[in-house]
Structure 1
Amino acid sequence: MKTDNTTDNQNTQVEDWIQEIWDWADTNNVPNSMIPRDPESLPHIKTLDIFFGQSITYKEGVRKVERSAFNTLPKAIVNLKKLKYLRLVGVDTKHLPTNFGQLDSLQTLVFLHPSFAELPESVCDLKNLKSLNIFSRQLQKLPDNFGNLSALESFDMRGTKVQHLPESIGNLHRLQSIELYSNDLRALPESLIGLRNLEQVKIAGSPHLQLSENMRHFLKDLGGELIPPKS
């Protein structure tokens, strides 16, 4: 009987998180092609492309919401253990569940036109994230715990108001590529120089960027594509 009860409890838990996602999907008119109403298929979702408050069309190869007016992502999303790619368009901090950093299998995260001014700290808890892409006119700051993204290999940030990268970026020892276009950068942290796996740095469109001599030598030795203002 004890074994049966344990099994029943486990099944109830599974049903609870699945039902939470289904309720969220039904409320937001998410099609079955994106969120399967099948308990066998739902846990195997690998990609999600979510638009907040926009109408979109289906794109081959990526699951998209057709009509959405999302207020938040469900906390149960962290139970999608095979989710590897997530793109969020027009998202705000209030849309993200507090446990967002528990998406343990997520490898690629894209923020397109987010409305937050500071990257939520919970994003930096994504321990297996390999690629982070941010395209924003609102973003002003990256959190100090940015260096917790220990698996990060590629970082692409464009169009932001960010003036400084956190020193903790020097903890990203797996980082191989950095692309920074049309940001409001004023300087680059010296901690970048210690990233031995860094292979590519591309910087353009940051008219206020000033580089130290050490940083200039580092980027030159790296063969980085640098288009900053003249010193």
Structure 2
Amino acid sequence: MGNSALKAHLETAQKTGVFQLTGKGLSEFPEDLQKLASNLRTIDLSSNKIEILTPVIGKFSVLKSLSLNNNKLTALPEELCKLKRLDTLHLNGNHLRQLPAGFGQLSALKTLSLSGNRLRTVPTQLCSLRHLDVVDLSKNQIQSVPDAVGELQAIELNLNQNQISQISVQISHCPRLKVLRLEENCLELSMLPQSILSDSQISLLAVEGNLFEIKKLRELEGYDKYMERFTATKKKFA
């Protein structure tokens, strides 16, 4: 991509606070973006070939939305965790295996998309994020859901198309979790905590495509309580 085209994008971003440069074959985070670190609210560099997110990202102090979908990222810098105003982070379709240790410091984060990466477990750092609403961890390599998940504040958790065969009973204790998606995993019915049905806030449980027939789920104790929540939620939005 030519310098003049990049310059034009930078000039527009200076005025709007939005920098969007998608599908341009960029192999690195544009260095010149640093000049706008104090006034960019949105950066979208999706569908490029970026392998490294440089530590300079930590300087974008007013950034609210960062999209790096469909790049080649294998890791994220700790400096990302300095973005105290970041509320939306889209990192679908990369090669991430883990999150930075300080990820729980992203105190404003509401929406996190990590679909199509290489995560093997639900990152426990997410449990420190008090304002998190929606988490998408679908299409990873997650095999189990750990006890720490009971602290998760999210309203919706998408774990579709992983390799999950075990789920901690603590998931029933998530204080705000309403939607739990577990489609196309490796769950036996006996591995699904019954308390999800009888004793949780979950009003939409999606479990199609696992190692049991859905009609067997309906025979479990607590299913009637789950259906009460499901129906009440449906009526609310009808």
**TM-score, length-scaled by structure 1:** 0.68
Q: Distance in 2 between matches of 1:43 and 1:29?
A: 14
Equivalenced residues, count: 184
1:224 equivalent among 169, 179, 190: 179
Contact 2:155–2:177 (Cα < 8 Å) also in 1: yes
SS across alignment from 1:48? strand
Mapping 1:206-221, distance limit 5 Å:
206-215=162-171, 217-218=172-173
Alignment partners' CA distance in 1, 2:28 and 2:114: 25
- Structure 1 residues 203 and 220, CA gap change in structure 2 (3 angstroms): farther
Q: 1:173 aligns with which of 105, 125, 130?
A: 130
Would you say 1:46 and 2:56 are equivalent positions? no
Match of 2:118 among 156, 161, 173: 161
Q: Secondary structure at the match of 2:68?
A: strand
Question: Are the structure 2 counterparts of residues 75 and 149 from structure 1 closer, same or farther at C-alpha, using a change threshold of 3 Å?
Answer: farther
Quote the offset at 1:121 in angstroms: 2.0
**Alpha-carbon distance, 1:170 to partner:** 1.6
Shift of the 84–185 alpha-carbon distance from structure 1 to 2, 3 Å rule, reads: same
C-alpha change, 1:229 and 1:80, in structure 2 (3 Å) is same
* 1:36-66 C-alpha deviation (Å, 9 max, x unpaired): 2xxxx76433211234752xxxxxxxxxxxx
Q: Which amino acid aligns with 1:225?
A: L
Match of 1:35 in 2: 10
Change (3 A) 1:189 1:105: farther
Aligned partner of 1:20 in structure 2 is none
Whether the aligned pair in 2 keeps the contact of 1:44 and 1:82 (CA below 8 Å) is no
CA distance in 1, matches of 2:7, 2:36: 19
**Residue 61 of structure 2 aligns with which residue?**
104
Aligned-pair distance for 1:140? 1.6
Alpha-carbon offset, residue 128 of structure 1:
0.7
Q: SS at 1:30's partner residue?
A: helix
Q: Which amino acid aligns with 2:18?
A: T
Amino acid at match of 2:51: D
Contact 1:135/1:157 (CA < 8 Å) preserved in 2? yes
Unaligned runs of 5+ in 2: 192-238
Alignment of 1:167-206 (within 5 A): 167-196=124-153, 198-206=154-162
The CA deviation string for residues 132-160 of structure 1, in whole angstroms up to 9 with x for no partner, is 11112422221211111111011111111
Q: Is 1:86 equivalent to 2:29 in the alignment?
A: no
CA drift of 1:122 comes to 2.0
Change (3 A) 1:79 1:31: closer
**Gapped runs of 5+ residues in structure 1?**
1-24, 55-68
Following the alignment from structure 1 to structure 2, what is the Cα–Cα distance between the partners of residues 152 and 207? 26
Percent sequence identity is 18
